[in-house]
């Protein structure tokens, strides 16, 4: 690989984990997450000329990666719309169960799977990745108010589904 390639790897490496989380939030709990990530990174590599260096690299990269992941999901129909199990919709089973991190992770992914894609992406970018509403709006190509609304609804739904209260 030439110097450009190594420079690109250095550029994207800090964003890899976040990009993968975003893809997983977008297309669901699937083995194709890593394929989608690679496809997105290659799309960014090929389209690097379109990146405006006066703006932050992270949002641009995530936008490209997200679009590539969506395309892949459409093509391969990897997105699964799983029904939320009755056990998940029920109130919290107790602190001992919540202490089980593996179970909590599974519950979280199941809960995420019940949300619309844009809400999953918005809440992941806002709460897990720390992007602002304005940056998320640019990544998703929607108004900032829509992002605020998506984050609000996603949080409320996650709270309900994870059994931490019912304010719906």
Partner 1 sequence: MSEPFGAAPDPGLGALLREGLDEGHDHAATLARLRASLAVAPREEDDGLAVLARWAAPGLAVAATLLLTVGLWLAVSMGAGEPAVAAGDALGVEPGATEVVYVAVPETR
Q: List interacting residues with partner 1 (CB under 8 A).
A: 1, 4-5, 8-9, 12-13, 16-17, 20-21, 24-25, 33-34, 37-38, 41-42, 45-49, 101, 104-106, 108-109, 112, 123-124, 126-130, 151-153, 155-156, 158-159, 162, 164, 167
Q: Considering only CA atoms, which of 112, 138, 134 is closest in space to residue 123?
A: 112
**Shortest Cβ 49–partner 1 spacing (Å):** 5
**Shortest Cβ 71–partner 1 spacing (Å):** 16
Task: Determine contact, residues 82/56, Cβ cutoff 8 Å.
Answer: no
Q: Tokens 């970018």 belong to which residue?
A: 125
User: 21 is written with which tokens?
Assistant: 């989380």
Q: Give the CA distances from residue 70 to residues 5, 30, 36, 166, in Å, rounded to whole numbers and listed in that order.
A: 25, 13, 8, 32
**Shortest Cβ 25–partner 1 spacing (Å):** 6
**Shortest Cβ 40–partner 1 spacing (Å):** 10
Nearer to partner 1, 21 or 79 (CB): 21
Q: Tokens 């992270």 belong to which residue?
A: 58
Nearer to partner 1, 79 or 109 (CB): 109
Residue 16: strand, helix, or coil: helix
């Amino acid at each position: 690989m030439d110097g450009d390639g190594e420079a690109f790897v250095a550029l994207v490496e800090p964003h890899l984990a976040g990009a993968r989380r975003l893809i997983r939030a977008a297309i669901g709990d699937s083995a194709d997450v890593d394929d989608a990530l690679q496809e997105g990174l290659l799309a960014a590599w090929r389209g690097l000329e379109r990146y405006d260096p006066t703006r932050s690299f992270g949002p641009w990269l995530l936008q490209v990666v997200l679009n590539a992941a969506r395309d892949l999901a459409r093509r391969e129909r990897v997105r699964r719309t799983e029904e939320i199990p009755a056990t998940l919709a029920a109130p919290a089973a107790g602190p001992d169960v919540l202490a089980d991190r593996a179970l909590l992770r599974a519950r979280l992914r199941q809960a995420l799977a019940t949300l619309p894609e844009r809400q999953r992406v918005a809440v992941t970018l806002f709460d897990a990745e720390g992007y602002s509403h304005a940056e998320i709006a640019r990544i998703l190509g929607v108004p900032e108010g829509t992002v605020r609304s998506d984050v609000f609804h996603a949080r409320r739904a996650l709270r309900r589904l994870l059994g931490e209260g019912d304010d719906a």
